[in-house]
Structure 1
Amino acid sequence: MFPKKMINGRMNGMVPIILLFIIGLMIIAINSYWYVQGISSVDSIRMTSELKVKEHINLSKKTITTENQLSLPSVGDMYGHLLIPKLDSKIPIFYGAEEDQLKEGVGHVQGTPFSGENSNTVLSGHRDTVFRHLGKIEKGDRLIIEMNANIFTYVVKKIRIVDENEPTVIVPKPRSTLTVITCYPFGYLGNAPQRFVLIADLIDKG
């Protein structure tokens, strides 16, 4: 028989370990939930040709407000979708690029214009959820923004890898441009030190 004091001492010593184990499980569960939430926000276009993409978009116009009805969204509002035909992805766009928005889909950086304006629309997303396959995009690939019953088609003209605080990424442009940002390298553990940047020019407004 072990002395009662020894047993109590061992039990008391186990309490912090048990608490740390429970806290660790909670952190893993929370992070897993938001990871799944981010991945599940990406839908499949299920179409590859440009004609079929257009058909898919036209069907969804019935649920989108007309241009005259559009008002500036509030932070956290979902106002459109980013379609990436090469990745067969359709991702919701939320106004604002804080963590609350990035958990749900793509974030529109506040202060940058909306698609169709003659400047630089900037979108951001997590590399391990909505943009986990973004590294497959090449120059010449299309990015499509579905918004306000309009379809804005862009073609990727430049791909950059820059430091996380590179000031030239979010700057005005002389023509309608779409800039898409995510962290880089894609497989990096922890806070990635760089950014993967796609720069695309508007080629069609439908």
Structure 2
Amino acid sequence: MKKIAFVIMTAGLICLIYSGTELMKGRQLQVSALHQAKAMTKEIDSPLKVQEKQVLNKTNKNIIGLLEIPKLEKELPIVEGTTLDDLAKGVGHYKTSSLPGGKDQIVLSGHRDTVFLRFGELKKGDTVTVKLKSGSYQYVIDHMKIVDADDRSIIHSTKPREELVLTTCYPFHYVGNAPKRYIIYAYPKTT
């Protein structure tokens, strides 16, 4: 009986160490991507030397911008793609969707337990800003909905109306692969 207890405790300890290590790796990737995204979006405001631009282009690889969520006091890197490796670095841009300013649907996704940790606190009327090399785009949250994980009707063209869609898994505190998706719809802020 003592041997079984020892094996179970050892397995639990190994799982804890592995999980902690993976969380730390993910956090390091996000911090690195955030620094790169900030440097890239500042490129708009201040001209850089040719050598500095070349270094930024090499390090950025798939980092395309920055997502600012004032209510959550968050600045998150946006990466091109939504694979597990992409989402480990930050918020993923769904490749076949538009980019801000494109007058079509923009889809950004993130993990509920990392970049979108407090996502459920966002409400109608809150703002989010997407910063790219091409400029800064502000959106106002209009509504939210919850759909099944396999619902593919969310991603579609909205031309000529620009629509920002933010997605994450739901329920927020679910352990394992969540059965639903939490969707936030936001539209360009009008002055």
TM-score, normalised via structure 2 length: 0.75
The aligned counterpart of 1:49 is none
What is the distance in 2 between the residues matched to 1:121 and 1:180?
8
Unmatched segments (≥5 aa) in structure 2: 33-37, 48-52, 54-60
Aligned to 2:43: 62
Structure 1 residues 78-87 or 167-176, which shifts more?
167-176
Distance of 2:138 and 2:27 partners within structure 1 = 24
Matched, 1:155 2:136: no
Q: Distance in 1 between matches of 2:100 and 2:22?
A: 28
The secondary structure found in structure 1 opposite 2:42 is helix
Rounded Cα–Cα distance in structure 1 between residues aligned with 2:163 and 2:12: 43
Gap runs ≥5 in structure 1: 1-13, 44-56, 70-75
Q: Does 1:94 align with 2:79?
A: yes
TM-score (norm: length of structure 1): 0.70
Q: State, as a whole percentage, how many aligned pairs show the same letter.
A: 33
Count of residues in correspondence between the two structures: 171
| Rounded Cα–Cα distance in structure 2 between residues aligned with 1:98 and 1:21 | 33
For residues 112 and 155 of structure 2, the distance between their equivalents in structure 1, rounded to whole angstroms, comes to 18
After TM superposition, which residue ranges in structure 1, 4 or more long, deviate above 4 angstroms?
Answer: 20-27, 37-40, 63-66
CA distance in 2, matches of 1:199, 1:142: 11
Q: Which residue of 1 aligns with 2:170?
A: 184
Please say if residues 44 and 133 of structure 2, whose CA atoms lie closer than 8 Å, have aligned partners that are also in contact.
Answer: no
Based on CA coordinates, which of the two structures has the bigger radius of gyration? 1
Q: CA deviation at 1:35?
A: 2.5
Distance 1:135 1:176, change over 3 A: same
Indicate which of 14, 19, 24 corresponds to 1:31. 19
- Give yes or no for the alignment of 1:119 onto 2:104: yes
Distance 1:30 1:97 in 2: 24
Measured in 2, the distance between the counterparts of 1:126 and 1:180 equals 11
Query: Counterpart of 1:132?
Result: 117
Deviation (angstroms), 1:113? 1.3
Note if contact 2:43-2:133 (Cα within 8 Å) is conserved in structure 1: no
